[in-house]
Structure 1
């Protein structure tokens, strides 16, 4: 997965219910563009350059997978959605909502539709003051000054009043605080690693990822399952046991919780499918000797996808050794997981059917999945 970009967005309104307009914009940005990391104070200031009602202004830090021009395009669409009608170019006017890209990390962009850093931001206190709340040490890529330095030398004489009301960050409505350890599970190609990555990134969680790519027996197993099944399952079990035992024993004061893209119990599910009866009996004894000492997830999320979608995802990610996986094998894995999960009395389990969802490409699907995870 590509690393999300950090954007700093300026918001303003001086028409209608100004505070509500700002909140509606913040909510729409979260729903449609990306995760809202921080929101500044709200400031009141006189209209600059024309006679009109006072403005309310703020800034936010946005994290998005989108390109800068796409972010701008979606911001303009949100303006229209919230009722803004742009008139003559370069003419000041009252507005329901105004949304601008101030920074796109350290990029310098100069096209007809987008200029970053914003060419007027260093002249405007109503941008610099809320931006200074969020990122005083962030450096302007062209002027080579930090936001706080730009604020000190800004010639704008406007007087800004910080308001004692705060915009709500919509990301805070998704509450993971009740869990210390969440395991995301699913069949081959279900998207468990992608989802665990996105949750860790958006909610400051510690990510625990299965080290399957380093297993030298996996490609051999797909070529000759009967010969390498027991060796593969034992190597996975040893590695999963070591990783979970060691990583979960280390407390991390700078993250909220742990999210993993597997649970060690998958070893028993896969081994029941791949091993013969005698091998499975021995494996099961060894598994439970280890399993009793391993921390268990407080929430176990199983991403269910139908076989057709799984095969599409497997083909799309293009791992050579996975391309000939049979439908029957995937169906046995799904059945094994569902049989195990439905029989568990001590697990907090959520089975989420994502067969008609694409939470990687579609943000609304991603937020739907998060809502399902956080729901009571």
Structure 2
């Protein structure tokens, strides 16, 4: 699932303006969406009324949530920082003001929200910070890119750069790792987390091609017959994919994040194969494994079996619906036994049984902070 790109404009002209804006950025990142870019800080005259000058900035956030959800979170954050909205018309001084300027290149017209913001093209204090974000964004109504909007704007306000602001993601130094593997049982959310991290941190993904495996549906119908060809085909495909992708350096990406580590082949094989088949399989695996690069960080997303079954049901792949709880229990035990046996692997176990890092931004931030602790 690709994330939405949301542009917010933040302003303050009361009290400690810098502190209010920094608090707003931190709260947006923790509660609304992942703040991946922040503009410079500008001092700008009040617009449409006489008052003290504003501090303004713009930020880009990634989210899977709706525009209405982001608006509700933004209003919560404004209230927490101390903004009290008056019932009267017109502009007024404010301790904090957070506006949803754009949501991808969508047009949204509701009683609560208009996107793109109807006045953005007339406000230099919105356009100049947006330019700092270096976005390939086109106004969906006016059909103009940001440089064209700036050139056409009639607002001649003097907007002065007064400092730099740091995006919260700058504190998470994942580029210290060249290769991160995210692992977990069936339905743990490893592919979702891999894609999310890749989008937020400009990483190259290596995603398991399970959907292309012709033996997988057959295996779930008749495990004893198709277990060995399934595990052999997975092993061959994983070896080829990781070898190819890790060998191809991408100048435009900062690191690689994969939704599997090839050792999972042995974990699943031990559960699915007979004793004789497993002995043969292990010999072949060990030959291949010696040649494979090891991840700089191995993240295991642990989920209890009840939650795994609920996730599997929710994602609705027909061939997975009859997976028994006992099978998932054995896979979990296999992973944990493997992790205990690894003395030279940088391992991070995160229990996500009671977390939802897609719907709950705080859970995603928690995971990033746990990963950050392993960079030291």
Q: Same fold (TM over 0.5)?
A: yes
CA distance in 1, matches of 2:329, 2:52: 63
Alpha-carbon distance between aligned partners in 1 of 2:273 and 2:135, rounded to the nearest angstrom: 59
1:275-324 CA deviation, whole Å, 9 max, x = no partner?
A: 11211111111111111111111111111111111111111112222112
Distance change in 2, residues 1:173/1:135 (3 Å): closer
**Aligned partner of 1:220 among 211, 218, 221:** 218
CA RMSD of aligned residues (A): 1.5
Q: Which runs of 5+ in 1 are unaligned?
A: none
Q: Which residue of 1 aligns with 2:349?
A: 351
**1:343 positional shift:** 0.8
Distance 1:134 1:76 in 2: 23
User: Secondary structure of the equivalent of 2:78?
Assistant: helix
Q: Unaligned regions of 5+ residues in structure 2, if any?
A: none
Residue 257 of structure 1 is aligned with which of 255, 258, 267? 255
Matching of residues 1-376 of structure 1 within 5 Å? 1=1, 3-135=2-134, 138-163=137-162, 165-376=163-374
Partners of 1:39 and 1:169 within 8 A in 2:
yes
CA distance in 2, matches of 1:261, 1:118: 38
Q: What CA distance in whole angstroms lies between the structure 2 residues aligned with 1:331 and 1:121?
A: 54
CA contact (8 A) 2:105 2:137 kept: no
Paired residues of 1:43 and 1:126 also in contact (CA < 8 A) = yes
CA distance, structure 2, for counterparts of residue 223 and residue 137 of structure 1: 48
Q: Is the 8 A contact 1:350 1:373 kept in 2?
A: yes
* Partners of 1:248 and 1:135 in 2: CA distance: 29
Q: Aligned with 1:29: secondary structure?
A: helix
TM-score (norm 1): 0.95
1:197-235 CA deviation, whole Å, 9 max, x = no partner? 111111111111111111111111111111111111111
* Deviation by residue 1:103-147 (Cα, 9 ceiling, x = unmatched): 222222222222222122222221122222224764332233332
Tell me the SS of whatever aligns to 2:314.
Answer: helix
Alignment size in residue pairs: 374
Q: 1:214 to 1:146 in 2, by over 3 A?
A: closer
